[in-house]
Amino acid sequence: MQLLTKGKVRVDFSKVAERLELMRSDDCMTPTQAMALYENYVSSMRSKDEPAEKGKTVRIVVQKPRG
């Protein structure tokens, strides 16, 4: 969400940290637009043939931005 709304983000994995940046700052979205895009993506990941409770396990950790 922060990448879509702020244009830059740092992603920390257990052994690697990556900085991601939108190629064009004009591609930044409002929080409402970013949330709608995310919700559409999650919905598209669900298989129509398999029940929702049997879908893939996804872990998403949301932290308050520093600063």
pLDDT in tens, 18-30: 888 999 989 999 9
pLDDT score, position 65 = 64
- Residue 53 domain flag: no
- Residue 6 domain flag: yes
- Residue 42 domain flag: yes
Say whether pLDDT at 48 is over 80. Answer: no
- Residue 33 domain flag: yes
- Residue 36 domain flag: yes
- Residue 39 domain flag: yes
Q: What is the percent of the chain with per-residue pLDDT over 90, rounded to a whole number? A: 12
- Using alpha carbons only, what angle is made at residue 63 by residues 52 and 20, rounded to the nearest 5 degrees? 90
* CA dist., res. 4 & res. 39, Å (int): 13
Give the domain range for residue 14: 2-46
Say whether pLDDT at 17 is over 80. Answer: yes
Instruction: Give the single-character DSSP code of 11.
Output: E
pTM of this structure = 0.54
- Residue 29 domain flag: yes
How many domains, in total, are found in the chain?
1
> For the residues 32-56, what does the mean pLDDT come to?
76
**Which token pair is 5?**
């709304």
Q: With H, G, I as helix, E, B as strand and everything else as coil, classify residue 37.
A: helix
From 35, 34, 2, select the one nearest 19 (Cα to Cα): 2
| 54 or 19, which is more confident | 19
